[in-house]
Amino acid sequence: MQGHNWIAILDFGSQYSQLIARRVREQRVYSELLRFDTSAKALAARKPAGIILSGGPASVLDKGSPLCDPALYELGIPVLGICYGQQMTAKLLNGTVKPGKAREYGSAQISVQDHSDLFRDLPDTLDVWMSHGDQVETLPPGFKVLAQTHTCPIAAMGDPVRRLYGLQFHPEVVHTPQGVNLLKRFLFDICRCRPDWEMAQFIKESVQAIRERVGDGHVLCGLSGGVDSSVVAALIHRAIGKQLHCVFVDNGLLRHGESEQVEETFGSAFGVDLHVARAQDVFLSALKGVVDPEQKRKVIGKTFIDIFSREARAFGEVQYLAQGTLYPDVIESASPLGGPSVTIKSHHNVGGLPPDLKFKLIEPVRELFKDEVRLLGRELGLSEAMVNRQPFPGPGMAVRILGEVTAERVTLLQKADQRVQEEMQKDPLYARIWQSFAVLLPIQTVGVMGDCRTYENVVALRIVESQDGMTADWSRVSYDTLARMSSRIINEVSGINRVVYDISSKPPATIEWE
């Protein structure tokens, strides 16, 4: 991204850095996370409208703490330092920082002292979210106090002439209710950004870039049935049409009707050159006797690579491999305080291909967050059912079947899970749900059906709410919804006589059971 209408966010390791980027993009302004030590020269060359310095776990009082290039304050570009970013700004511009007498973690209330720019039209007192031990003791020359708390005399500071600002609190989190309005003041009043970050423009630019890069070449894309690979396939197909070849490896471990949906969407509706490798028997044979979760993943991963590689060789000279790498994958694969890594997390992509398959990667959505990928999918004409698919593990049903994976157990779980999906989609809470699914447990319990005693399988329901999957809480779905799921599973799926509900959060539990 070049030009003047974007925001550079220097990442000092805050747990909220990605959230800052998301909040900016929610205002239809493009943002990008960069390393904390990105030089002022590099920033000047790319001409951002503003720079945000994130928070971070370090203390500016410690020797060797990460610092930005001091020259960035002289670029004439507006700067907003958040938490650690404010303390660092004070230190580098000849103010002073000290350990706070009272550490502040959690909710606090600030008193606004100056409403002239950053706090324009905002109330005199604001609820905010603090997370700091150090605080600014004396202001750098040219700065004034914008807000304070009882224990933090400089909760916000600013130099309106140079357009340099600092906040001791986090405006990006939901616990700071007016935080979005603060960011809007910075983006639109101070940086003079335009709200023009739109998917239509992204599609136009991406299509052009793909065409220029590929030329007369061909692209191979591994379709999984998930949102990311589906959107990537649709975008590349719009750019190069018949030069795209998709391979869908049907491992037999997908949700009910999933393989048919993929074939219908891409083979029929979009007219993509789709090659389906039906390999359920191969995967089940490889999984025979395997009960360890990690071993299951390795077996499935290796089997997938073997089949995908065989299919890829059949295309002959294909130069490019498309992958659904997302922006969080890129960020998480590089340590902001270490060095950038070229290794993207393997479970997101086709990693480990044989040496003879030397592809150049095309990752057209690597600048996007998950919600933006869904929006892109809608713009490209994908159905809501496809775009709104819940995250699904790469190993599929294999890690939702505790114990050995067999054809019978896969069918049993698919039928139970189908009823979970159907009932959840009727629930008013569905839009808030991150994942909802059934887990087949490796135990049997006694039951009574009619006048007969049964000894059959147990299914656990896992329904969670989350923003990003990093943390999650079990969903308080209605008893009526749970009752319908239980009744349908027990009455309609032969072989299950008991349903339980998982009410553990992440952490300490994980979302998946394996």
Contact status, residue 166 vs residue 81, Cβ threshold 8 Å: yes
Q: What is the DSSP letter of 455?
A: E
* Beta-bridge mates of residue 452: 449
| Closest to 286 in 3D by CA, of 298, 273, 268 | 298
Q: Is 246 a catalytic residue?
A: no
**Which stretches within 241-326 are classed as H helix?**
258-262, 280-287, 293-313
The span from the CA of 489 to the CA of 479, in Å, is 15
| Closest to 270 in 3D by CA, of 231, 240, 246, 237 | 237
Q: At what angle do helices 407-424 and 280-287 cross, to 10 degrees?
A: 110
Dihedral of the CA atoms 487, 489, 490, 494 (nearest 10)? 150
| Catalytic option among 68, 132, 172, 367 | 172
Pairing outcome for strands 452-465 and 433-449: antiparallel
Range 276-286 burial, b when 16+ CB lie within 10 A, else e: beebeebbbeb
Q: At what angle do helices 370-379 and 199-214 cross, to 10 degrees?
A: 80
Residue with token string 């499935």: 300
Token duo for residue 407: 């054809």
Contact status, residue 108 vs residue 128, Cβ threshold 8 Å: yes
Contact status, residue 298 vs residue 346, Cβ threshold 8 Å: no
| Closest to 243 in 3D by CA, of 222, 276, 221, 267 | 221
Burial degree of 288 (CB within 10 A; 0-12, 13-18, 19+): exposed
| Closest to 276 in 3D by CA, of 301, 307, 300, 255 | 307
**Which stretches within 54-177 are classed as H helix?**
84-92
* Beta-bridge mates of residue 128: 108
**Which stretches within 359-463 are classed as H helix?**
370-379, 384-387, 407-424
Q: What is the DSSP letter of 475?
A: -
Q: Is 132 a catalytic residue?
A: no
Q: Is 221 a catalytic residue?
A: no
**Which stretches within 243-360 are classed as H helix?**
258-262, 280-287, 293-313, 327-332
The span from the CA of 215 to the CA of 273, in Å, is 18
Q: What kind and span of H or E run contains 482?
A: helix 479-492
Among all residues, which ones are annotated catalytic?
A: 83, 170, 172
